[in-house]
Structure 1
Amino acid sequence: MSLSELRFIALNRWLHQIFDSPVFPKLISGDASYRRYFRVQHENISFIVMDSPPELINVTPFINMANAYSEKGIKVPQVIEKNIEDGFLLLSDLGDVELLSVLNEDNVTAYYSQALSLLTKVSLVTQSGGERLPLYDDAFIQLELDIFSNWLIKHHLGIKLDEKTRNMLQIVFSCLIESANTQPKIGMHRDYHSRNLMLQNDELKVIDFQDAVLGPVTYDAVSLLRDCYIRWPDNIVDTLMKRHYEQLKYSALIEGNVTLSTYTRWFDLMGLQRHIKAAGIFARLKYRDNKPAYMADIPLTLEYIRDISARYPEFHSFNMWVSDCVIPAVEARS
């Protein structure tokens, strides 16, 4: 019997103890980690059950962040019952309408404006479980960027990096790290996009927040506006980006003397870092975690990397390498 089957039996046993009657969990999704989610019905009330193998992912950070977000008025799943030892949580059900599923060019500005407004509350969450959130520091960012080189470039594409290319990449990565360091640090969700925002009764609710950190002011905004799973016209993104800039100034999260030009560079370079990381993670999900579906999202992340890096002369060599080497290699493997 497989580990997942054994865990499902244990999960059913735990639920039976809670409800004092049999319930029938139905798998609704796994995510990009080792967690699985089920939906159960009891007396006409719907619940979500998280199955998180404790030796792989402890549920305590999720519980602590759910509490921290809720205290700031951010709508998140309520933790109703918990079994920390076995890695099971019973959660309130936020429905199954991801924001992504309803977005179009007519409503994206309105919905994303709501999502950007929520980021002011997110920024205030700087502690969890009585401890300061981890810092999204140089080592953290470098580790994420290396996922791109190791998993997409070397493992998936089989490209051996010569010394010139390695040096070029390190210069680019150092520039991205420096830009991130220049920005003020706030509470950061770290995966804030249209698949992690649920729409329930026309209200946005937030999921997948357990990896929150203290990080750059533009990270969550660029994660939302330059979504790895969908791309919007530049005029829409630019309008919303400027709205976030004004929001940061109004909330005193950036100094009044920070110009829109400075903010735009922060935003663009933060987006580059995130898309470089994401392209590597999508490849790692296939080869390490046996989740090949995310490979379909790599072309869009590379499009972003190509198009945004083209705006900055200092990334010319990187842009040419991505355009002439990486993208054709990915297309050839498709």
Structure 2
Amino acid sequence: MSASSVPEDTRAAALQAWLAQRPGCFEGLQLLRADASFRRYFRARRDGEPVVIMDAPPEREPVAPFLRIARLLEALGQRPPRIHDEDPDAGFLVLEDLGDRTFTRALAEGEDEKALYQRAIDRLADLHRAWPQRPAEATPALPAYDTPRLLDEARLFIDWYVPEQQGHPPTEAARGAWEAAWTQTLDALPRLEPTLVLRDFHVDNLMIPPEGAGCALLDFQDAVLGSPAYDVVSLLEDARRDVSPAVAREALARYLQATGWPDEAFRVHYRVLGVQRAIKVLGIFTRLHRRDGKPDYRRHEPRLQTLVRRGLAHPDLAPVADWFRHHMPEDPAAPGDVGDEGA
């Protein structure tokens, strides 16, 4: 992750004034990166030690959820960045600097894909095994990742991606059929005990920590309570990189063996939520392009379209596949002759 000079804006000025009032001497402040939200990250040294500073405008990205989930993850034996200082009202946090070795970077540097994905899936299995024994005093109330919330996310596709592809908004009939197809599909999911869902569990948000072993977690502030399959499919059907089918199959089998979820019920969740996530992300990336002027995310569209097309081959997703045949038969994401490489 590359750093750049400090931008000249009101938030950066407020951050510098805030740091001047905090314990320790902060030096070398540099913009590290901004993400797809309104958050930004800076790198600095406090009394000579490296730290990362989160800048999250309170009216846009409150930091309280990050703090709650970070503490919950620590209580569950996980490895979020340690929190050195916090000011939720101002929207600033001083965090442990975990370095630069995301799993994405490690893969680009030639680290073994299978070994890294096993490390990641083991972290997720550890988290899900620990969840039933979670300490009540450390567990915040979490939103349910249920049919209404998943359906709301699926609307991103029809609100943003469909108009972009078709050149006009969907008809009311198409919109109503979309909602009905997803409601039918999600309501038919077999029962699995809900667990902590981090929602962005993929190699961009996993770090090789300074101690070397295991993996550290980033970007978990939107955690919810839902299907254990969601984070697994987020990792193994990545929106941003192609995961080797053999690596994905082995990692999924390893996770199931470690956690003991009912195999077929879990795989139904995996297939359905894999498509739900892919169509949601297609909507988000289109919105980032059209509303926020960030077109680079759209380079991932072909991969996401392939994931959707492949997922729609499963009978579990028949209502959604029928919607595509009736309303978007020519779209690259519509059902086609893609071999099943997934669950």
- Amino acid of the residue matched to residue 59 of structure 2? E
Name the counterpart of 1:303: 306
The alpha-carbon deviation at position 180 of structure 1 amounts to 4.7
How has the CA–CA distance of structure 1 residues 54 and 137 changed in structure 2, closer, same or farther, with 3 Å as cutoff? same
* 1:144 pairs with 2:153: yes
* 1:39 pairs with 2:43: yes
Name the counterpart of 1:30: 34
Aligned counterparts of 1:224 and 1:269: Cα–Cα separation in 2:
15
- Amino acid of the residue matched to residue 238 of structure 1? R
- Amino acid of the residue matched to residue 266 of structure 2? Y
Name the counterpart of 1:236: 247
Alignment root-mean-square deviation, CA? 2.7
Aligned ranges for residues 178-193 of structure 1 at < 5 Å?
178-180=187-189, 182-193=191-202
How has the CA–CA distance of structure 1 residues 17 and 73 changed in structure 2, closer, same or farther, with 3 Å as cutoff? same
Aligned counterparts of 2:327 and 2:213: Cα–Cα separation in 1:
40
The alpha-carbon deviation at position 169 of structure 1 amounts to 2.5
Which residues of structure 1 form unaligned runs of 5+? Answer: 330-334
The alpha-carbon deviation at position 165 of structure 1 amounts to 3.9
Aligned counterparts of 2:77 and 2:24: Cα–Cα separation in 1:
33
Superposed CA deviations along residues 55-104 of structure 1, whole A, max 9, x for unmatched, are 11111111111111111111111111112211011000011221022227
Q: Is the 8 A contact 2:151 2:179 kept in 1?
A: no
- Amino acid of the residue matched to residue 112 of structure 2? N
The alpha-carbon deviation at position 20 of structure 1 amounts to 5.2
Q: Is the 8 A contact 2:26 2:46 kept in 1?
A: no
Name the counterpart of 1:332: none
The alpha-carbon deviation at position 112 of structure 1 amounts to 1.4
- Amino acid of the residue matched to residue 272 of structure 1? V
Tell me, what secondary structure is at the counterpart of 1:103?
A: helix
The alpha-carbon deviation at position 52 of structure 1 amounts to 0.4
- Amino acid of the residue matched to residue 227 of structure 1? D
Aligned ranges for residues 107-118 of structure 1 at < 5 Å?
107-118=112-123
Name the counterpart of 2:3: none
Tell me, what secondary structure is at the counterpart of 2:28?
A: coil
Name the counterpart of 2:291: 288
Name the counterpart of 1:224: 235
Aligned counterparts of 1:226 and 1:137: Cα–Cα separation in 2:
21
Bigger mean CA deviation after superposition, 149-158 or 136-145 = 149-158
Aligned ranges for residues 72-221 of structure 1 at < 5 Å?
72-103=76-107, 107-123=112-128, 124-125=130-131, 130-155=139-164, 157-162=166-171, 165-166=174-175, 168-180=177-189, 182-200=191-209, 201-221=212-232
Aligned counterparts of 1:281 and 1:307: Cα–Cα separation in 2:
20
The alpha-carbon deviation at position 284 of structure 1 amounts to 1.5
How has the CA–CA distance of structure 1 residues 83 and 189 changed in structure 2, closer, same or farther, with 3 Å as cutoff? same
How has the CA–CA distance of structure 1 residues 261 and 89 changed in structure 2, closer, same or farther, with 3 Å as cutoff? same
Q: Is the 8 A contact 2:278 2:307 kept in 1?
A: yes
Q: Is the 8 A contact 1:180 1:216 kept in 2?
A: no
Could you tell me which of 43, 62, 65 is aligned with 1:61? 65
Bigger mean CA deviation after superposition, 315-324 or 174-183 = 315-324
* 1:273 pairs with 2:284: no
The alpha-carbon deviation at position 32 of structure 1 amounts to 1.5
Which residues of structure 2 form unaligned runs of 5+? Answer: 1-6, 335-343
Aligned counterparts of 2:48 and 2:327: Cα–Cα separation in 1:
53
The alpha-carbon deviation at position 234 of structure 1 amounts to 2.4
Q: Is the 8 A contact 2:308 2:333 kept in 1?
A: no
Q: Is the 8 A contact 2:194 2:226 kept in 1?
A: yes
The alpha-carbon deviation at position 143 of structure 1 amounts to 0.7
Q: Give aligned pairs, total.
A: 319
Q: What's the TM-score once normalised by structure 2's chain length?
A: 0.84
How has the CA–CA distance of structure 1 residues 39 and 107 changed in structure 2, closer, same or farther, with 3 Å as cutoff? same
The alpha-carbon deviation at position 173 of structure 1 amounts to 1.0
Q: Percent identity at matched positions? A: 28
The alpha-carbon deviation at position 223 of structure 1 amounts to 0.5
Tell me, what secondary structure is at the counterpart of 1:190?
A: coil
Aligned counterparts of 1:267 and 1:89: Cα–Cα separation in 2:
35
Q: Is the 8 A contact 1:154 1:160 kept in 2?
A: yes
How has the CA–CA distance of structure 1 residues 136 and 74 changed in structure 2, closer, same or farther, with 3 Å as cutoff? same
